[in-house]
Homo-oligomer: A and B are copies of this chain.
Amino acid sequence: FILKGSPVTADPPNVIIMLMDDMGWGDLGWNGEPSRETPNIDRLAAEGLTVPHMYTAAPLCSPSRASLLTGRLPIRNGFYSDNTHGMNAYTPQEIMGGIPDEEVLLPEALAARNYTSGLIGKWHLGHRDQYLPLKHGFHSWFGAPNCHFGPYSGITTPNIPVFRDDHMLGRYFKDFAIDKNNGVSNMTALFIQEAVEFIERESNKGPFFLFWTPDSIHAPTYSSPHVRGTSRRGRYGDAVKETDAGVGAIVEALRTQGVDNNTLIFFSSDNGAALVSKTEGGSNGPFLCGKQTTFEGGMRAPGIFWWPGVIPAGSVSYQVMTHMDLFSTVAQIAGAEIPSDRIIDGLPLYNSLIHPELEVLRPVFLYRGDRLMAVRKGSYKMHLWTFSTPTEEMERGINFCPGEEIPNLTTPIPTNHTDKPILFNIEVDPGEKYPISRFTQEYSKQVTELQQVVSDHETLLVPGEPMLNWCDNAVMHWSPPGCEALGDCINPPESNPYLCVWDH
């Protein structure tokens, strides 16, 4: 379908999407984190709309972000691998692929409505020249194409570059300091400052779209010297606290510029907390397992919409939403065209934001790589496949579901339940602990209906070309654009493409 023409308000609003990295649903005071160290995010929620049933499009960074920006499942936009069925893939340095040119990203859709789009933070949609943000609709960028992993020697692996727009400014660890051992870096402070300056610069022009994606909450976590050591929750909590302060600074900048009533903020996280990080990771509250899994802890994310005067303050919507709805809903709000030549998984849900009592009954499909693992619709979630931590990884101390074990559900190998799906009422049982008995009417009715939903989905599904199959050490960040001016180009090794290995 086509939905275009008029924006929902006379002046299309500014839009800020704040996407945290690996922050858990339970990390907000608003969602019950006992130390309650997120006063600014909590205020956003108190002044806005809370969506407790918000899902990411994938249980890890790259595909989650690609889907939010395209409104399409990873299986459609290519952000998956089929090297091994049902395994998670992302964009490490050695990845060859990235976001295809054919995809329409939110900033590209908004450009037709004269939005100026800025990215501040991590990108993660591919780092080779043709995949960088300014090739895909963003007008400005400060941040890095990949996670702040390192430090590297520059011999077998180069350090990750930090970009200004289309050229590198320097590299993590080398030019942009991260003290990984002590968890100290001023990168979040820079991301906050850049966001405030972006708002100051753009507020008196046309509408803007700011995609704010600090990544300090992703391991190895870090925070600025003045924040480090101030949280009751340790190093992880410090990172959360500084990000929360950033939310406060951004809202304050909107107020100072007088555009707060004309700005929509959406706050969320790209996937559940990484429980593998143990005491240095976050909390998924009452939900099962975490990042890398299709249990609720892996894909349920904070969901806060804020737009003073338009979205009712202190409201709650029980709408089952996915990040892919952001693409369609923001386009709808801006009066931008939603592409009609492809399937868009996101729904335009502006009505649900201003009338929180409305609920559109719709399915959300939970994938792991190329495999449909589960589907959520209404109060029910049906697992077709289950998988937690591979035995080999468990033996190395990696555990995606630490302390949690549900028989037949948190299985150590990919386990096929399509003949006898596992069904939960996820509102009554958010922790996915008590499967509904197969010998009940409720089970028969819901499973029959959900199997039809899956069948309809799979009938129409034409998987996109997988972009995360091939790796090559030659494509690492040896010589990013701008390296010449900095004298920081490194000769790459010879090209030697190989099938990427995805462990889980």
Contacts and interface: CB of A to CB of B under 8 A. Distances in A.
Contacts of A433: 278, 402-403
Contact of A428 (B233, B427, B430, B434): B233
Interface string A263-293: 0000000000000001100010110100000
Interface in A388-419: 402-406
B403 A32 contact: no
25 contacts: A26-B32, A26-B286, A31-B32, A32-B32, A32-B286, A34-B52, A34-B53, A34-B286, A34-B427, A35-B427, A36-B50, A46-B46, A232-B379, A232-B427, A233-B427, A237-B428, A278-B434, A279-B428, A279-B434, A283-B430, A283-B431, A285-B286, A402-B433, A404-B404, A405-B405
**The 8 nearest A-B residue pairs measured at CB:** A32-B32, A31-B32, A34-B52, A403-B433, A234-B428, A232-B427, A32-B285, A279-B428
A403 B431 contact: yes
A388 B324 CA distance: 42
Contacts of A232: 318, 379, 427-428
A232 B318 CA distance: 10
Contacts of A472: none
Contacts of A262: none
Nearest to A399: B433
A429 interface: yes
A187 interface: no
Interface string A412-450: 000000000000010111110110000000000000000
Contact of A403 (B234, B402, B404): B404
Given A35-B52, A403-B433, 5 more contacts: A36-B52, A232-B379, A232-B428, A278-B433, A279-B425
A316 interface: yes
A318 B231 CA distance: 12
Q: How many copies does the complex hold?
A: 2
A453 B68 CA distance: 53
B405 A279 contact: no
Interface residues of A, number: 40
Contact of A429 (B36, B279, B285, B428): B279
Contacts of A283: 286, 430-431
Contacts of A406: 403
Contacts of A234: 425, 428
A180 B431 CA distance: 26
A72 to B, nearest CB: 27
A36 B50 CA distance: 10
A237 B429 CA distance: 11
A40 to B, nearest CB: 13
The winner among A30, A34, A402, A425 for most chain B CB atoms within 10 A is A34
A33 B31 CA distance: 7
B35 A318 contact: yes
Nearest to A233: B428
Contacts of A35: 52, 318, 427
Contacts of A36: 50, 52, 316
Contacts of A30: 32
A124 B34 CA distance: 30
Contacts of A318: 35, 232
A270 B30 CA distance: 23
Contacts of A52: 34-36
A318 B29 CA distance: 13
Interface in A68-109: none
A30 B288 CA distance: 20
Interface string A22-63: 000010111111111000000000100010110000000000
A427 B46 CA distance: 25
A229 to B, nearest CB: 13
Contacts of A434: 278-279, 402
Nearest to A432: B403
A468 to B, nearest CB: 32
A232 B26 CA distance: 20
A430 B286 CA distance: 12
Contacts of A33: 32, 286
Contacts of A32: 26, 28, 30-33, 285-286
